[in-house]
Amino acid sequence: VDDSLTGEPGMLRKVNVYKATDGTEKLALGQGNTKVIEVGFTPREYRILMAQNRFQYYDEEAMTDPMLVPAGTRHMGTDMFNTVNADVFAEFQKAVLTVSAPALNFDAFVDAAAKLNLENLENTSLFGFLCRADMAAVRKSLKEDLKFVEAFARNGYVGTVGGINLYTKKDAEEGTVVVATKEAVTLFQKKGTEVEQEREGNIRRNTIYSRKYYLAALTDETKAVKIVVGSGQ
């Protein structure tokens, strides 16, 4: 998260997107590399977004049910988070590095981590997003390896596979798992969420607005990779 965002909705913000070329080669005795891994960046333009929601209630409603207003304002925050989170995940899905896998097994996740070409892989926090159907496929694939793990035996909890923490997302695409580090995507935003309230005294109606200015951007293509079942490269 970067809280330095300034400007108005619709304005453009230039973001440098970093990427790297592949350079891993299989060599015979006496041979050396002919490729070099090169890292560069491409400036891209993103448009600042403004997300807003509104909650209305009457004085009489609040008097009848004192939990009405807390429930409404709580859902305002939840709805705003889900809206921003969807845009963040959409940027993760733009990953250009891909790994082909016949199935979502242990090897697929190990290959995905290797594709990121991280210098200190053991001490890097990796996570993967996948849909419910693919999480079920992972459970089936790993059941023999995890059957003695208490959390898995009780409720099917997978946790970490090949050093990658797995999380289920409703909007993840079936057959595609995004593996990344947190450096892959940056959420630029104005710090905090603006809250504004108004009241129509004649009819005793209260309106609460909440709004957030932000943009999500895939800022480092070297830190995200897709596992694509049955295709890719």
Per-position DSSP letters for 161-199, written without gaps between them: ETTEEEEE-TTPPTTEEEEE-TTSEEEEEBSS-EEEEEE
The first and second tokens of residue 189, run together, are 């935003």
In a domain, 32, yes or no: no
The count of domains in the chain is: 1
User: If DSSP codes are grouped into helix, strand and coil, which group holds residue 61?
Assistant: helix
Task: Look at residue 16 in the predicted model and tell me its pLDDT.
Answer: 78
CB neighbours of residue 213 within 10 Å: 21
In a domain, 33, yes or no: no
In a domain, 99, yes or no: yes
Backbone angles phi, psi at 7, to 5 degrees: 120, -170
In a domain, 7, yes or no: no
Domain that holds residue 216: 12-21+41-228
In a domain, 28, yes or no: no
The first and second tokens of residue 99, run together, are 């790994």
Cα Rg, the chain, nearest whole Å: 23
Backbone angles phi, psi at 189, to 5 degrees: -155, 155
In a domain, 31, yes or no: no
Would you give per-residue pLDDT tens digits along the chain (233 residues)?
Answer: 888 777 777 788 888 777 777 777 778 888 888 888 777 777 888 888 899 999 999 999 999 999 999 999 999 999 999 999 999 999 999 998 888 888 888 888 888 888 887 776 666 788 999 999 998 888 888 776 665 454 444 444 567 787 888 888 888 889 899 999 998 999 998 877 889 999 999 999 999 999 999 999 998 888 999 999 875 44
In a domain, 171, yes or no: yes
Backbone angles phi, psi at 205, to 5 degrees: -105, 130
In a domain, 121, yes or no: yes
